[in-house]
Chains A and B, each alone.
Chain A
Amino acid sequence: MVRRYLRLLGIQLKASGLLALQYRADFFTEGVTSFFWTFTALAPLFVVYGERPVVEGWGFGEALLVVGWFTLLQGILEGAINPSLTGVVEHIRKGTLDFVLLKPADAQFLVSTQRFLPWRAFNVLTGLGLFVYAFVQLGRAPSLTGVLASVLLLGTSTLLLYSLWILTVSAAFFVVRVDNLTYLFTSIFDFARWPSSMFQGVAKGALTLVFTYVIPLALMTTFPAEAMLGRLPARSLVGAVVGSVAFAWVARRVWLRSIGHYTSASS
């Protein structure tokens, strides 16, 4: 069973890879645009830290780590999650989702692996570059346990991001025109650029609670950055793992419900 799905994944990856090799010029344009977007993420950081050395307990180098995680996750989102799930929306609109549902494999697996944009991985590289720069700024190296914890959190962050997306796409079964929802999603994701404690001063910390428990943005960027700095409590680490698995489970339930709700366009 697992073997069969791994092989399927391999085939899908290969197809996307071949497609990417056809458009080699994208390699450069993606690189340049990724560089530019990183610049927008950094510009306010420079302006803010030009005014204050420390904001809400975060120094420049430390906040830089959060931006690094943001950039890295953006790469995963745009390269691996976005393309295939935008495909689902197309399927729903044209009524071709039937063909996917008829195939003898799990529909969620099929739609989530149908398309990858490997060149978008440039963001991942930019993110890694930011980590190096941040630690040079901090003047120290991350601890081994910190790095291991952050790798674990990379897994949970990706899972969370993916689950959030599945929830968004499930909405497409009900509202159909969802390409706008993708903008909405990315703009909410914008909050993840900054350490979650930055939002503590607003509405008596309600915003921080929302971004930890309702839309778990804090878990995606702030937690891994704290883990790298070696100051994430073990309790939060466990919480992140359990929380993201629970979140993924809920997303899966919602997806199955929406699929049940689906009536194809042709029938």
Chain B
Amino acid sequence: MSLHTTLRAMPTLLRVGFAEAVAYRAEMFIWVLSTTLPLVNMVLWMAVARTAPVGRFGQADFVGYFLATFVVRQLTSVWVAWVINWEVRQGTLAMRLLRPISPLWAYAAENVAGFPMRLLVAVPVMVLSVVLVGSKAVPQHAWQWGFFVLAVLGGWAITLLVNIAIGALSFFLGSSLKVMEVWLVLFFVCSGYMYPVELLPAGLRTLINWLPFRYQIGLPVELMTGAHDWREALVLLGAQWTWVALLGVLTVVLWKQGVKRFAAFGG
């Protein structure tokens, strides 16, 4: 399981993953349609902002914010936790463990391979956002684009690592789907997915800055809509990538401990 084999297997893994994403495009489409929650919230906040702006948000700003949320969710979504739970229960994880490459890389590769398909959804929504809101819906300068890409990558990494970590809990718990549900609830409430975090009271905001959720969705969205100057953005990106590192260590440890307990049935 050396670095060399992993690197050599990557192109194949990506190609297989991409073929899968293309084969199941109808499912992908339905998944996209079912992430309409940002749109519900967009309409709702437009109603709230109809008479007067909320904080710095007018109606148009809310449209920009929630379309950005939609885009970032498409780009960073991961459902490996469910896959791992399924494979542990069915015993098919044994097949993966037999291969000379860590399943963690395989999960990551499968997810990355879907990226072209996600862009196919995300880019038109970005264009729509520019049409509706004007050029301030997307980053203005090159450095802002760079930061935005970094933030999306970080958000994706956090989501992937948490998914694998919670998936690995199923080695200990039998099923960790309920844990995932609790994580999702906290994610919805704290990530800026349902409302911009800056509308929360100051105390709560400080707490949320310390938690990982905001860095999954909120930060990329804020960088896409240009909410921070470069100094602030840099601090927040630092916090985000610190979380990526921490979760990376935690995930690998949890996975290694978990796999030791795995006794395949069937498979």
Contacts and interface: CB of A to CB of B under 8 A. Distances in A.
A184 B36 CA distance: 9
Contacts of B189: 39-40, 43
B235 interface: no
B255 interface: no
Contacts of B26: 175, 177
A56 B47 contact: yes
Contacts of B200: 47
Given A180-B27, A183-B30, A33 B44 contact: no
Interface stretch (A126-134, A192-200, A239-247): A192-200
B48 A48 contact: yes
A52 B45 CA distance: 11
A210 to B, nearest CB: 12
Contacts of B195: 44, 47-48
B34 interface: yes
A199 B194 contact: no
Given A44-B194, A184-B34, A193 B40 contact: yes
Contacts, number: 82
A184 B46 contact: no
Contact of B35 (A29, A51, A181, A187): A187
Contacts of B145: none
Interface stretch (B12-20, B86-94, B149-157, B177-185): B177-185
B46 A201 contact: yes
A56 B40 CA distance: 15
A39 B33 CA distance: 24
A199 B43 contact: yes
B50 A181 contact: no
A55 interface: yes
A21 to B, nearest CB: 20
B57 to A, nearest CB: 10
Contact of B40 (A51, A194, A201): A194
A180 B31 contact: yes
A194 B41 CA distance: 10
B199 A51 contact: yes
B259 interface: no
Given A44-B41, A181-B30, A183-B34, A39 B185 contact: yes
A193 B39 CA distance: 13
A198 B43 contact: yes
B86 to A, nearest CB: 12
Contacts of A193: 40
Contact of B44 (A39, A184, A194): A194
B185 to A, nearest CB: 4
B107 interface: no
A215 interface: no
A191 interface: yes
B153 to A, nearest CB: 26
Interface in B64-102: none
B36 to A, nearest CB: 5
Contacts of B194: 40, 43-44, 47
Nearest to B45: A48
A198 B36 CA distance: 16
Contacts of A6: none
B176 to A, nearest CB: 12
A106 interface: no
Interface string A42-72: 0110011011100110000000000000000
Contacts of A40: 185, 188-189, 194
A180 B24 CA distance: 12
B178 A55 contact: no
B117 interface: no
Interface centre among B30, B35, B194, by most chain A C-beta atoms within 10 angstroms, is B30
12 contacts: A33-B178, A44-B195, A47-B195, A48-B44, A48-B195, A56-B50, A180-B27, A183-B34, A187-B33, A188-B36, A191-B40, A194-B40
Interface of B: 26-27, 30-31, 33-37, 40-41, 43-48, 50, 54, 178, 181-182, 185, 188-189, 194-195, 199-201
Listed from nearest, the 9 A-B pairs whose CB atoms lie closest are A183-B34, A180-B30, A187-B34, A36-B185, A184-B34, A43-B189, A198-B47, A40-B188, A44-B194
